[in-house]
Amino acid sequence: MSKALTILCVLAMVTAVLHAFVAGRAEESDDESDPKPRVVLPDESAYAPSPHDGKGRAAVTPDVVGVREPVTMTIVYTAAGEGIAVGGGVACMVSQFWGWSQPQDVSPQIPGYVTVRCSDEQVKLDTYVDRQNGSVVAIIRERPLEAGTALNFVYGDTSGGRNARARGLTDRYAERGERFFIKVDGDGDGFFTAIREQPTIRVEARQASRLVLFGPSHATVGGAFDLRLSAVDPGNNLVESYEGKAALRALMASADFEAEVTFEESDRGSTRVRVTPKAAGVLWFAAQDADGALEQAQSTPIVVTERGPSQYTLYWADLHGHSNFSDGTALPEDWYRYARDVSRLDVAVLTDHGHWGYTLLDEDKAAWRHILEVSRSYHEPGRFVTFPGYEWTNWQYGHKHVIFADESEAVVITSFDEKTDEPKELWAALAERDCITVDHHPGGGPVPTFWKYYDPHFEPVVEITSVHGVSEAMGHPKCIYNPVESGMVQSALARGYRLGIVGSGDTHDGHPGMRALGGGCGGLAGIYATALTREAVLEALRARRVYATTGCRAVLRFHMGDVHMGGVATLDDPNQERKLSVSVLGDAPVKSVTVVKNNETVGQRTCEGLLESWEWVDPAPACDGDYYYVRIEQADGEWVYSSPIWIALRNM
């Protein structure tokens, strides 16, 4: 089998091995002489293709389908070159992700029934379904498959009077560039290699169910800003075909803004409305389609202040997500468009896997160049900031995404080379580049972080919330699955690591920045920066002037005097007053505010309403290295985490 075909087969085995591995790893010594912990993976060099493999072309009809639509699709493979020898074959893989009916050849009463036919009746086929990786395999028997001869794979075959239930259900996420993967073993040696150009499908969202509306979190009186209004289906897929009208109005006593918004064909389901606030206060907007058929949209709160620059502005970011170049949905350009136009993020970073999923960026230079070009093309300082990035997907020490200052700095350092398969080796390889690395799902999930390794130069922040759950500490109501205590963020803080706290989606559904459906967990980063530029955003990340949410857009301020969250308060006297100031404006009622000192709860306040301000004074003498952060719970089950403020005693 080819690397692309085997990668998914390995996944289940890796997961099982990892669970046993991390359970034992938690008790390991920090002694640098300890041998590397290892997960033994198959030797990929065993899957070297021969010159006869991977030949031919393929096409699929229909190539445009609807989200969750029952379909019958025909994938036609046509042999090329020397054809396929007896004993060779063709494998057609249906996506393992996002709800496609998995192919089966047992019963036409079950979705995903598949058949294979050859255009040359003299060619005999042995066919079977490999359920481990979702492939339909046809092996050539008795006589070779000559160039120009076709194999027809019918997915969801209802011919011959078979029941319509045999049809397959499509992807639950809209995307361009979904693929049926075709691999060919041309010489019968048992190794399959992907053909050069795979047949692609467009999955469309065809029926809008609601409007979504996003604005900034900060604005000034007289300063214009953009609202984004979009039409989505029940799965949050953008309905690009939507055309209609909507009434937009302000929800604020001192505001009299009303407008009619028209979706044109060229808007592709998302339109921009320019607004200039006239008075200070907290502003919301609501939108309703003219027919009243769609669920009404309401924006998150916008804090409007009097004219005059403040030191920092709050920007929203998703620093971690995947496209269908690795194991997600959506082309990179569509991923960025959703982040900018639908979720109205200020900052976004696509971080496809360096060595995992369908496309291995450490090997596919064309795919990496495409990602860099898309990142560059969407970057628009002052409106939308992107960074080039990728994920160093290491199954021993944890996953990190690497965020580069610009495209000239960007390079993929593989985690599958023994020279760069440890964090300190990764950082050494990045030493001359302007970049940061971010540990994600550190408390568990696919694999926890091995906190033996930490470099304050490269790791200013850690991802505490994502689609995998919350990695603060064991026992959290939204705790990450497969939790490991030694991997939690509190464990890293207890080691003395100065880490700012961010959330990010780790989105695989093509919806960066969108709140998780059904009460699930997500992640966003609130970033306080001096400007919406790459330089200013990187400065804020390195200064740890950031906070995390599970997907909501609550506005949080946390400081000790003039020291902002993420900073270090230097004291001359251990008995010097330490007054913590917290202000939070939720996008749902605030349920509680908790002050955490050195991982222990030292203050808690029950709240009502959207806005809460609180000053808390620590009565105990200060110790060098103390740290405080705040945890906010909203009544709707969303959570917010500040970065810590650390204490340093002078002359200690």
Give the sign of the dihedral formed by CA 535, CA 536, CA 537, CA 541. positive
193 and 238 part of one domain = no
Same domain as 224, residue 136:
no
Q: In the structure encoding, which two tokens stand for residue 431, read together?
A: 């030493």
Bridging pattern class, strands 563-564 and 385-386: unpaired
Whether residue 258 is predicted with pLDDT greater than 90 in this model: the reply is no
d(CA 271, CA 287): 12
Cα(first)–Cα(last) distance of the chain, in Å? 61
Check: CB of residue 510 under 8 Å from CB of residue 235. Answer: no
Q: Which helix (H) or strand (E) holds 365?
A: helix 365-378
Nearest alpha-carbon partner for 271 in 239, 224, 238, 227: 227
Is residue 225 in a domain? yes
The one-letter amino acid at 75: I
The closest alpha carbon to 172, from 242, 113, 237, belongs to 237
More confident residue, 24 or 366: 366
Supply 377's token pair.
């093309």
* pLDDT score, position 311: 86
Taking residue 229's Cβ as centre, other Cβ atoms within 10 Å add up to 27
Residue 251's pLDDT band, with cuts at 50, 70 and 90, is confident
Distances, alpha carbon 465 to alpha carbons 65, 273, 455, 547, 588, in Å: 34, 31, 21, 10, 18
> Does residue 83 fall inside a structural domain?
yes
pLDDT of residue 253: 54
Which structure tokens are listed for 166? 């045999």
Query: Domain ends where: 204, 228, 247?
Result: 204
Confidence (pLDDT) at 293: 95
The whole-number average pLDDT for the span 153-172 is 87
Band of pLDDT at residue 9, cut at 50, 70 and 90: very low
Instruction: Report the pLDDT averaged over residues 133-149.
Output: 94
Q: Which of 583, 602, 614, 398 is nearest to 489 (CA)?
A: 398
- CATH code of residue 142: 2.60.40.1170
519: DSSP letter = G
Task: Please give the DSSP secondary-structure letter assigned to residue 12.
Answer: H
22 in the same domain as 154 = yes
Distance CA 358, CA 159 (A): 32
Q: Which helix (H) or strand (E) holds 540?
A: helix 534-542
Which among 308, 310, 328, 312 is positioned nearest to 320, based on CA atoms? 328
Task: Say if residues 441 and 480 touch (Cβ distance below 8 Å).
Answer: yes
CA torsion 514-515-521-524 (nearest 10°) is: 60
- Judge if 185 and 250 occupy the same domain: no
Does the pLDDT of residue 27 top 60, yes or no?
no
Residue type, position 285, single letter = F
Compute the average pLDDT of residues 535-545. 98
pLDDT at residue 19 tops 50: no
Closest CA to 304 of 213, 228, 214, 221: 221
Question: How far is CA 50 from its chain centroid?
Answer: 36
**Segment 74-114, tens digit of pLDDT:** 999 999 999 999 999 999 999 887 889 999 999 998 999 99
Residues 439, 399 contacting (CB under 8 angstroms)? yes
Q: Is the predicted pLDDT of residue 308 greater than 70, yes or no? A: no
Does residue 91 sit within a domain? yes
| Residue 5 predicted with pLDDT over 80 | no
CB atoms within 10 A of CB 311: 7
Point out the least confidently predicted range of 38-42, 88-92, 147-151, 497-501.
38-42
**Domain co-membership, 159 together with 275:** no
Mean local confidence (pLDDT), 345-354 = 97
Torsion-angle region of residue 539: left (phi > 0), alpha (psi -120 to 50) or beta? alpha
What would the pLDDT profile of 555-613 be if each residue is shown by its tens digit?
A: 999 999 999 999 999 999 999 999 999 999 999 999 999 999 999 999 999 999 999 99
Question: How many Å apart are CA 458 and CA 580, to the nearest integer?
Answer: 28
Residue 172 — very low, low, confident or very high, per pLDDT cuts 50/70/90? very high
- pLDDT at position 52: 85
In this structure, are 145 and 282 located in the same domain?
no
Q: Is residue 571 assigned to a domain?
A: yes
pLDDT for 29 beyond 80? no
Instruction: Please tell me whether residues 131 and 220 are part of one structural domain.
Output: no
182 and 221 in a single domain? The answer is: no
User: 216-248 pLDDT, tens per residue?
Assistant: 999 999 899 999 999 999 999 999 999 999 999
How high is the pLDDT of residue 7? 38
On the question of a cis peptide bond just before residue 62, with omega within 30 degrees of 0, the verdict is yes
Written as six digits, the tokens of 526 are 């609130």
Amino acid at 41: L
Kindly state whether residues 220 and 190 are assigned to the same domain.
no
Nearest to 239 by CA among 202, 268, 201, 272: 268
Domain annotation covers residue 14: yes
d(CA 597, CA 602): 6
Nearest Cα neighbor of 348 from 374, 321, 323, 369 is 321
Please state the φ and ψ torsions of residue 249, each to the nearest 5 degrees: -145, 155
Residue 651 sits in a domain of what CATH number?
A: 2.60.40.10
Distances in whole angstroms, Cα of residue 487 to Cα of each of 39, 304, 440, 470, 568: 18, 40, 10, 12, 24
Q: Is residue 233 part of a domain?
A: yes
Average pLDDT over residues 320-342: 95
In this structure, are 51 and 144 located in the same domain? Answer: yes
pLDDT in tens, 33-74: 333 333 333 344 455 667 889 999 999 999 999 999 999 999
- Rounded CA separation 166/157 (Å): 6
**pLDDT of 254 higher than 60:** no
Phi then psi for residue 461, to 5 deg, are -135, 165
Res 367: pLDDT: 95
517 within some domain:
no
In this prediction, residue 205 carries a pLDDT of 97
What would the mean pLDDT of 153-179 be, rounded to a whole number?
89
At position 383, the amino acid (one-letter code) is R
Give me the chain's average pLDDT, please: 90
Tokens 């000034």 label which residue?
A: 220
596-626 in b/e form (b: 16+ CB < 10 A) is bbeeeeebeeebeebebeeebebeeebeeeb
Strand, helix or coil for residue 270: strand
Tokens of 262: 């028209």
pLDDT of 32 strictly over 80: no
Query: 504 in helix, strand or coil?
Result: coil
What stretches of 269-361 show up as alpha helix (H) in DSSP?
332-337
Please identify, among 204, 224, 254, the residue that sits at the C-terminal boundary of a domain. Answer: 204
In angstroms, the CA 259 to CA 275 distance is 10
Task: Please tell me the least confidently modeled range out of 157-171, 271-285, 493-507, 517-531.
Answer: 157-171
DSSP 144-195: -B-TT-EEEEEET--TTT--GGGSEE--SS-EEEEE-EEEEESSSSS--EE-
Domain count along the chain: 3
Shared domain check, 112 and 53: yes
Q: Is residue 20 included in any domain, yes or no?
A: yes
Give the residue from 310, 341, 369 where a domain finishes.
Answer: 310
CA-closest candidate to residue 92, choices 157, 5, 186, 181: 181
What one-letter code names the amino acid at 581? S
Residues 7 and 134 in one domain: yes
C-alpha to C-alpha distance for 162 and 182, rounded to whole angstroms: 26
Domain housing 262: 210-310
**Enclosing H/E stretch for 23:** helix 3-25
Query: pLDDT tens digits, residue range 123-138?
Result: 999 999 998 888 999 9
Q: What percent of the chain has pLDDT over 70?
A: 91
Model confidence at 161, pLDDT cuts 50, 70, 90, reads low
Out of 33-42, 269-278, 315-324, 363-372, which region has the weakest mean confidence (pLDDT)? 33-42
